[in-house]
Structure 1
Amino acid sequence: MFVRVALDHPLPTLFDYRCDISGAAVVGTLVSVPFGKRHVVGLVCEVTAHSDVPAERLRDVDQVCTACPPVSTHWLALAAFAADYYQRGLGEVALPGLPQALRDASRWSRLFAPEERYRLTAEGRTVLPDALPARATALRALAQALARADFLLAADARALHPKALATLDTWQTAGWVTLDVIDAATVPAAASLPNLPAPALPTLTDEQASAVAAIRDAHGFAPFLLHGVTGSGKTEVYLRALAAILAGKPDAQALVLVPEINLTPQFEAAFRARFAALDASAIVTLHSGLAEGERARNWFAAHTGRARIVLGTRLAVLASLPRLAIIVVDEEHDPAYKQQEGLRYSARDLAIYRAKQLGVPVVLGSATPSLESWWQADQGRYDRLTLSRRAVAEAALPSVRLIDLEDERRRGRASIEGLSGPLIAAMKARLERGEQSLVFLNRRGYAPQLACDACGWVAGCPRCSAYVVLHKPERALRCHHCGWESRIPRSCPECGNVDIAPLGRGTQRVEETLASAVPGARVLRIDADSTRRKGSAQALFSDVHAGEVDILVGTQMIAKGHDFQRVSLVGVLNADTALFSHDFRASERLFAQLMQVSGRAGRAGLPGEVLVQTRYPRHALYHALCRHDYVGFANATLAERRDAHLPPFVYQALLRAEGRTLEAALAFLQQAAAELARIPAAERVTVYDAVPLTIVKVMHVHRAQLLIESASRAALQATLRAWQPLLRVLKGVLRWNLEVDPLDI
């Protein structure tokens, strides 16, 4: 018997191996195989009785992972589609789609070992709290962990107490604890969904009820674009739709995607509260912030059907869900759904394809849908569901007011480090009323530049063609592109001037300014720097929800998805920089960002207000923002895109090259462009000139790009398919990659 195996390797081919392990070679099975001097894990894609590879070159399969059921043919077809569309090898899609722990054969025996679960008995819940000495803090922590969860794994118990297993055996003898041993390879019966009483559920608005009914009654593939203003109750629609669909199919599964890891805790809490009767393992999360063991366990729960609801970031779209019945993509417009390294896939687009492949509904939810999705709904390909008002009757959309910074300057009104007088006065008024304010600035660090006004020197990264960012609390200069870091110099290295000063403002500087501008306010900053440690973001957001913060300062991390009940004021700083970007998507992203952050105000009935500081108050984008007019903005922007022949009216691909010099990268791209003349399908493709990237050099590597586009997706794909072999024989660069449907150009 021979097997053809997909490996995580750039070559778009399957590799043949002999398999003498009787009955183990099944399509979709994980195997360990020799590859060069290494032993790697691959995925069996074909089983055949013969091979075209000469016998002397064939090698044997080392090990077959029989404890893990094979992935389904539907999952393999999804991986094959992604590989074909994004111009990668099948193994480059299938293997990274699995948890890292599964791709290490030495860990299989531990991963699939029988799972020991300890549970409290009814007697234990009554007796155990009083039976422990008051000073036995570790034992009490163990007992509390048992009481909080449906069960406690042996590994988790050992982390709480060094002699946990011996203690649990004693408690088992006393009748306080029971031990269940679960075979990891056993596929459990599907957990039933709870039938919660009606009074426990919030009353739906007419628009919510209509949306839930449409999703519930859908048959086959049904793409829905749920366009709901911020605070309109999109999450409640998701919950009701999932409950209806899963209750009607006892073994069905649901996939819910969110754009960022820090949004998963509140979503998980909402789903666990609604489906409280489900076993703890019936709702799992999948994202890169999980420990490898935990991610592997959650993936396996989804793969075996034990998990009924899978909640995750973009990588979860490739999770193995054999009985998937509905997919939800929340904040579908978010650029975070597009992977920017390795396999550059769009999780939103793969979710739509996966729903079509399985014949199930997919719900794309957003207050500011992507123009691509909006256009699809205009064409009738998606069914548009609208939530035009907030779910809480007394909660109206916030008023938006523009603060003209040029007018403030002409009138001689003082500002404090970029914070205008009206914004500071509004924050002080909220502080007096016990309400919260949010200040949004999408730039972390203390200042984006450190400069000398005597000679013009600006601190730059020695490895990148970019300025370094000043981080004052850490007393460091840091490059946000390569991570290079140094201490802040005492004087200018060029002329010796000691009066070097920061230019511009980041969240750290705004946090410092607010402490003095609004005396007595409790100021909290949430950005990538303040949330580096695991669990820190969740803890900081908990402080905001608990009312322990008066003014929240942050980047895009605080701009979407969060339900801040006490926030009544949002201040937006430095939004103008995106108005004149070279990226044609910049205005779309800015409008979505401002609409999302504006929606954090006034969600619980408090009158909400949004103050936007700008030097261009007459700009059409700001006028649409003041009217909360997404529809008008989207239609106007789509008309501009149509006239300019830009997506979604054309399809694009981007070839990037990295070389030791910029000349080498550009030369490679020019050769690549010349090769297109040999491809017949390229007659329907437009090729632009090779140009350097905006940040030309990163980590001493120079980068350039070549854009091609076509009005025909089929012609573009045919061109890329024929172009790839020609690119592989070209020399002169360190790396190159081809991205389909690029977001950053």
Structure 2
Amino acid sequence: MPYLRLAIPSPLRRLFDYLPPQDCCIERLQPGVRVKVPFGRREVTGVLIEVSEITDVPTGKLKAAITVLDTQPPLPESLFKLARWAGNYYQHPLGDALSQALPVLLRKGGACEYAHQHLWRAAKAADIAQLGKTAARQRELLLLLLDHPNGISEDAIRAEGGQSSLLKKLEEKSLAESFIHKPNHQLQNSEPLHEAPLTLNNEQQAAVSAIVRSNGFTSFLLQGVTGSGKTEVYLQAIEHYIREGKQALILVPEIGLTPQTVARFKARFNLPVVVLHSNLTDRQRLDAWLQAKEGVARIIIGTRSAIFTPLKNPGVIFIDEEHDTSFKQQEGFRYNARDLAVMRGNYEDIPVVLGTATPAIESLYNARQGRYQWLKLNQRAGNAQPPKFELLDIRQLPLQDGLAEPLIQQIRGHLQQGTQVLIFLNRRGFAPTLMCHDCGWLADCKRCDAHMTLHRKPFHLHCHHCDSQRPVPATCDSCGSTELKPVGAGTERTEEALLKLFPEFPVIRVDRDTTQRKHSMQQIMDRVHEGKPCILVGTQMLAKGHHFPKVTLVAILNADSGLFSADFRGMERTAQLILQVSGRAGRAEHPGKVVMQTHHAEHPTITSLVTEGYQAFAEQELSQRISAQLPPSLYCAMFRAEANHQGLAERFLSKLRNLLEEDILQPHGIQWLGPLPSPMEKRAGLFRAQLVLQSRDRKALHHQLQSIIYQAETDPDARKVRWSVDVDPVDMF
């Protein structure tokens, strides 16, 4: 008897055997089809891995599958292979990895078809006279069908006041019929461009030529200074593949970047462009996913999870701002979309382009090793000049809500010249926290080892780590004093201060709090692009890829943040953020300037960035990482554990380490760091610990990971903690 071996979305790292459904034709089953099965007390949607002749489970204990949901696998073979590889590499349960690669509606067992694909219409010979006067509601329904000769969905029928339950009765009387309708989005115009491409400089032309002439799979690192025209390179390379009848997938790090990216692509191309991100409804996402799968959508733009979007005719993949940590999933299935893009390009034999002004140290290392072909754009597009840097030493200078007087004067000068100013402050809220002036008490989060941020609109304390909120107290929790003062400045407080200093100019705040509503980011961008003098105040949301042609002054208020991070990547991220923010200045014919307020004007990282640029800093950082035996010169994985009681997670990880260190079969060359409490030990009410494994041998590291996962899954103490494994972690907290 054949058995169905399925991957089930569950925490269990194993496959499950089932008997085939009674009406199933085994010979037609293909790996990758979805199968609905009983699992415990519920029904779930699994994915067929193989049909097997043998099983380790007694036949009498095997359950029968309920039904096979697909005739063809929803994922093409290359993506099915990619999802399986990712589950194995990131040490994640295969069933959950395959499930995450599918749209939500398909995970829930929904049909792999468009919305309203099943429509109703009146039969050709339908005559209203065939219905008697007593069937008034059937007459109304038939009249509605006659008004929609091209078909109407059941949802639309109900919206019009019709009773969809009567459709079957009309069908039995041969007055109505259902049919399958597939949207046809193909354009008749064969010319793929709306507007003519821009003229490329020599560096841009060389980059486009290298990409389009690549024969099959090649990984490119496209490093271009901000304003060098990387997007124009994307557009002209994509045009080449579009004219060959192929599709392009573009990944961007955050939803906030998609509106302007989509607008740029729609302005250039006379082709269907679809967008995939978490703000779409499940139905919208599946429809866009199907358009990509069927080749209707020629250009697909999406965030991290769009890496699993099937393409009928794959041509090229672009990863914009490849250094951004948003491409790494931080919960559950902890994959890195940037790295999966490279693997996908290998499977589908297409080029992959990683674009950025500030490459991740790992990407720089891969380019040095020859794994990536290195393309450089060192000159800004057009006549734009790089911004001039000024380090403003604020030691012993009085600050007005975080602003030094020399900076205030420069802001006023640029606004009076009719240009725009960008103020960067990577802190949301009114102030980082609230302090008692009498006893020094700080408003700490009761669930985290962190201070609560003070917000004014609405007035409350908010922990941005666990999302807990509480009213602002009238008196100190410690001594009862009413002398409670905000400490430090956030975007709200800076906005308030600027409104007082420059009442005649609009101040526009851009952070998570002001961009929560749909289209709010696009409305802000439209307002800025009007070109009128204004002040932009925002967090790192402003640093990524936005084009502000009238911004001539960028002020970085807390340039020192991140310089003394416990994470070895702290310096890298600080440098990337400073350069990305600085790149918003002087992107058109207006010259730009960057003023960095700092208490450490002689710090080597800051001075190196200002005087020598990112490349010199990155080369030095890479050299230091190699000397210190840190990634990317070796491979790294982290076990994380959390529990309700302090010390429990740490003891659990210590037990695992002790068991494996005593194992004579363990691979050589594994370095153990910890277990230790996490840098923020308490978060969301749970106490956290971590155990880091490092090795120069990737296979040895993964062999060790499999051993420790086996020990963790079989350890009775594992029920007292929640643990996870993170391969190639980007966040050491």
Q: Any idea what the Cα deviations from partners look like across 1:22-41, whole Å, max 9, x if unmatched?
A: 44632221222111110111
**Matched-pair contact (CA < 8 Å) for 1:427–1:518:** no
Deviation at 1:264, TM superposition (A): 0.7
> 1:8 matched to which residue of 2?
9
Match for 2:23: what amino acid?
A: I
SS across alignment from 1:525? strand
Deviation at 1:618, TM superposition (A): 1.3
The residue number in structure 2 matching 1:268 is 262
Give the match for residue 388 of structure 2.
399
- Equivalent of 2:653, from 665, 669, 679? 669
* Cα distance change on mapping 1:337 and 1:154 into 2, 3 Å: farther
Name the CA shift for 1:84/1:162 in 2 (closer, same or farther; >3 Å): closer
Question: For the Cα contact (< 8 Å) 1:403–1:614, is it kept in 2?
Answer: yes
Kept in 1, the 8 Å contact 2:30–2:73? The answer is: no
The equivalent of 2:722 in structure 1 is: 735
Q: Which residue of 1 aligns with 2:671?
A: 686
Map of 1:244-263 to 2, 5 A cutoff?
A: 244-248=240-244, 250=245, 252-263=246-257
Q: Contact conserved, 2:119 with 2:154, CA < 8 A, in 1? A: no
Alignment correspondent of 1:436:
420
Counterpart of 1:235 in 2: which secondary structure? helix
1:194 corresponds, among 191, 195, 200, to 191
CA-to-aligned-CA distance 1:155-184 (integer Å, 9 cap, x gap): 89979x965999xxxxxxxxxxxxxx9946
Compute the displacement of 1:564 (Å): 0.8
2:61 maps to what in 1?
57
Distance 1:607 1:548, change over 3 A: closer
Does 1:103 find its partner at 2:107?
Answer: yes
Q: Which runs of 5+ in 1 are unaligned?
A: 118-151, 167-180
Secondary structure in 2 aligned to 1:300? Answer: helix
Whole-angstrom distance in 1 between the partners of 2:285 and 2:386:
39
Contact 1:7 1:42 in 2 (8 A): yes
Q: C-alpha distance in 2, partners of 1:446/1:156?
A: 50
1:578 is paired with a residue of what secondary structure?
A: coil
Change (3 A) 1:437 1:645: same
For the pair 1:312 / 2:302, whether they are aligned, the reply is yes
Q: Work out whether 1:699 is the aligned partner of 2:703.
A: no
Query: Is the CA contact 1:69–1:185 (under 8 Å) kept in the aligned structure 2?
Result: no
Contact 1:523 1:552 in 2 (8 A): yes
How many residues are aligned here? 683
| Deviation at residue 631 of structure 1 after TM alignment | 1.5
1:357 alignment counterpart: 347
In structure 2, the gaps of 5 or more residues are 121-149, 164-177
Aligned equivalents of 2:152, 2:400: Cα separation in 1: 56
Contact 2:432 2:451 in 1 (8 A): yes
Distance in 1 (CA, whole Å) between partners of 2:237 and 2:161 is 42
Cα deviation digits, residues 312-367 of structure 1 (max 9, x gap): 11111122224322111010000111110001111101111111122211000000
The reply to whether residue 240 of structure 1 matches residue 236 of structure 2 is yes
TM-score normalized by structure 2?
0.88
- Taking structure 1 as reference, are residues 501 and 223 closer, same or farther at Cα in structure 2, changes over 3 Å only? same
From 411, 431, 451, give the equivalent of 1:447.
431
- Report if the CA contact (8 A) 2:392-2:598 is conserved: yes
Contact 2:251-2:303 within 8 A present in 1 as well? yes
The answer as to whether partners of 2:34 and 2:45 remain within 8 angstroms in 1 is yes
SS at the partner of 1:95?
A: helix
How many Å separate the matches in 1 of 2:155 and 2:407?
Answer: 51
Q: How does 1:567-586 map to 2 (within 5 A)?
A: 567-586=551-570
1:616 aligns with 2:616: no
C-alpha change, 1:12 and 1:190, in structure 2 (3 Å) is farther
Deviations along 1:15-54, one digit per CA (max 9) or x if unpaired, are 2222233446322212221111101111122134554432
Distance 2:596 2:151 in 1: 50
Q: Is the 8 A contact 1:193 1:275 kept in 2?
A: no
* 2:670–2:701 CA contact under 8 A, matched in 1: yes
Question: Which of 629, 635, 639 matches 1:651?
Answer: 635
Matched, 1:205 2:207: no
Q: Pairwise CA RMSD of aligned residues?
A: 2.7
| Residues 325 and 707 of structure 1: CA distance in aligned 2, closer, same or farther (over 3 Å) | same
1: CA distance between counterparts of 2:238 and 2:4? Answer: 39
CA contact (8 A) 1:69 1:304 kept: no
For residues 329 and 342 of structure 2, the distance between their equivalents in structure 1, rounded to whole angstroms, comes to: 16
Percent identical across equivalent pairs?
41
Query: For 1:68 and 1:441, how far apart are their aligned partners in 2?
Result: 51
8 A contact 1:329–1:348 mirrored in 2? yes
- Does residue 1:291 correspond to 2:281, yes or no? yes
Asked if structure 2 preserves the Cα contact closer than 8 Å seen for 1:191 and 1:306, the reply is no
After TM superposition, the structure 1 = structure 2 runs for residues 597-636 of structure 1, keeping only pairs within 5 Å, are 597-627=581-611, 629-636=613-620
Matched, 1:336 2:321: no
Is the contact made by 1:67 and 1:112 (CA closer than 8 Å) also made in structure 2?
no
1-structure distance, mates of 2:482, 2:183: 69
Query: How has the CA–CA distance of structure 1 residues 109 and 681 changed in structure 2, closer, same or farther, with 3 Å as cutoff?
Result: closer
Q: CA 1:17–1:360 in 2, change beyond 3 Å: closer, same or farther? A: same
CA–CA separation in structure 1 for the residues paired with 2:300 and 2:499: 41
State the alpha-carbon separation in 2 of the partners of residues 293 and 719 from structure 1.
Answer: 41
Does the alignment pair 1:520 with 2:522? Answer: no
The 3-state SS of whatever aligns with 2:31 is coil
Change (3 A) 1:193 1:38: farther
The worse-fitting range, judged by mean Cα deviation, of 352-361 and 544-553 is: 544-553
- Which residue in 2 is equivalent to 1:491? 475
Query: Matched residue of 1:307: which SS?
Result: coil
Asked if the contact 1:543/1:549 (under 8 Å) is kept, the reply is no
Q: 1:715 aligns with which of 700, 707, 719?
A: 700
In structure 2, the residue matched to 1:225 is: 221
Q: Is the 8 A contact 2:241 2:247 kept in 1?
A: no
SS, match of residue 684 in structure 1: coil
Shift of 1:185: 7.1
Q: Quick one: which amino acid aligns to residue 538 of structure 2?
A: G
Once the two structures are superposed, the pairs formed by residues 365-444 of structure 1 within 5 Å of their partners are: 365-392=355-382, 394-406=383-395, 409=396, 414-444=398-428
* 1:396 CA drift (Å): 0.6
Per-residue deviation, 1:6: 1.3
User: 1:76 deviation in Å?
Assistant: 1.4
> Does the aligned pair in 2 maintain the 1:100–1:292 contact within 8 Å?
yes
**Which residue number in structure 2 is paired with residue 469 of structure 1?**
453
Q: State the 1:595 CA deviation.
A: 0.4
